[in-house]
Amino acid sequence: MAGAEVTEAWDGLIVGASLATLEGDAGYAAIEDGALGWRGDRITFVGRRRDLADAPDRLAATVVEADGGWITPGLVDCHTHLVFAGDRAGEFEQRLQGVSYEEIARRGGGIRSTVSATRDASEDELLAQSLPRARALVGDGATTLEIKSGYGLDFDNERKMLRVARRIGQSLGVEVRTTFLGAHALPREYLGRADEYIDRVCEWLPPLHAEGLVDAVDAFAERIGFNLAQTRRVFEAARTLGLPVKLHADQLGDGDGAALVAEFGGISADHVEYTSPAGVSAMARAGTVAVLLPGAFHVLRETQLPPLAEFRAQGVPMAVATDCNPGTSPLLSLRQAMQLACTHFRLTPEEALRGATVNAARALGLDDRGALRVGLRADFVHWNIARPAELCYWLGGALARAVHAGGRRLS
Condensed to tens digits (0 to 9), the pLDDT of residues 299-355 reads 999 999 999 999 999 999 999 999 999 999 999 999 999 999 999 999 999 999 999
Give the pLDDT mean for 209-218: 98
* 256 belongs to a structural domain: yes
For residues 375 and 246, membership in a common domain is answered with no
pTM of the model: 0.95
Condensed to tens digits (0 to 9), the pLDDT of residues 73-95 reads 999 999 999 999 999 988 888 88
How far are the Cα atoms of 33, 51, 181, 390 from residue 226, in angstroms, in the given order?
Answer: 52, 56, 12, 40
Over its C-alpha atoms, the chain yields an Rg (Å, rounded) of 21
Concatenated DSSP letters of 26-41: SS--EEEEEEEEEETT
* Kind and range of the H or E run holding 249: strand 246-249
Binding site per annotation, positions for Zn(2+): 79, 81, 248, 323
Query: How many CA atoms lie within 13 Å of 350's alpha carbon, on the beta-carbon side?
Result: 11
Indicate if the pLDDT at residue 3 is higher than 50: no
For residues 87 and 128, membership in a common domain is answered with yes
How far are the Cα atoms of 86, 131, 169, 387, 408 from residue 173, in angstroms, in the given order?
Answer: 25, 12, 6, 28, 8
What is the C-alpha to C-alpha distance for residues 267 and 55, in angstroms, rounded to an integer?
43
Binding site per annotation, positions: 79, 81, 88, 151, 184, 248, 251, 323, 325, 327-328
Binding site per annotation, positions for Fe(3+): 79, 81, 248, 323
Indicate if the pLDDT at residue 65 is higher than 90: yes
For residues 318 and 394, membership in a common domain is answered with no
Shortest CA distance to 358 belongs to which of 134, 70, 24, 30? 24
Residues in the chain, overall count: 411
In this prediction, residue 223 carries a pLDDT of 83
Give the pLDDT mean for 6-25: 91
* 5 belongs to a structural domain: no
Question: In whole numbers, what is the pLDDT of the chain averaged over residues?
Answer: 95
For residues 301 and 186, membership in a common domain is answered with yes
* 4 belongs to a structural domain: no
Query: Running DSSP on this structure, what letter comes out for residue 136?
Result: H
pLDDT category of residue 7 using cuts at 50, 70 and 90: low
Indicate if the pLDDT at residue 5 is higher than 70: no
Query: Running DSSP on this structure, what letter comes out for residue 52?
Result: -
Binding site per annotation, positions for N-formimidoyl-L-glutamate: 151, 325, 327
In this prediction, residue 111 carries a pLDDT of 83
Condensed to tens digits (0 to 9), the pLDDT of residues 224-236 reads 899 999 999 999 9
Binding site per annotation, positions for 4-imidazolone-5-propanoate: 88, 151, 184, 251, 328
What is the C-alpha to C-alpha distance for residues 301 and 293, in angstroms, rounded to an integer?
13
Domain that holds residue 41: 10-73+371-409
Q: How many domains does the chain have?
A: 2
Give the pLDDT mean for 258-271: 98
In this prediction, residue 187 carries a pLDDT of 94
In this prediction, residue 8 carries a pLDDT of 75
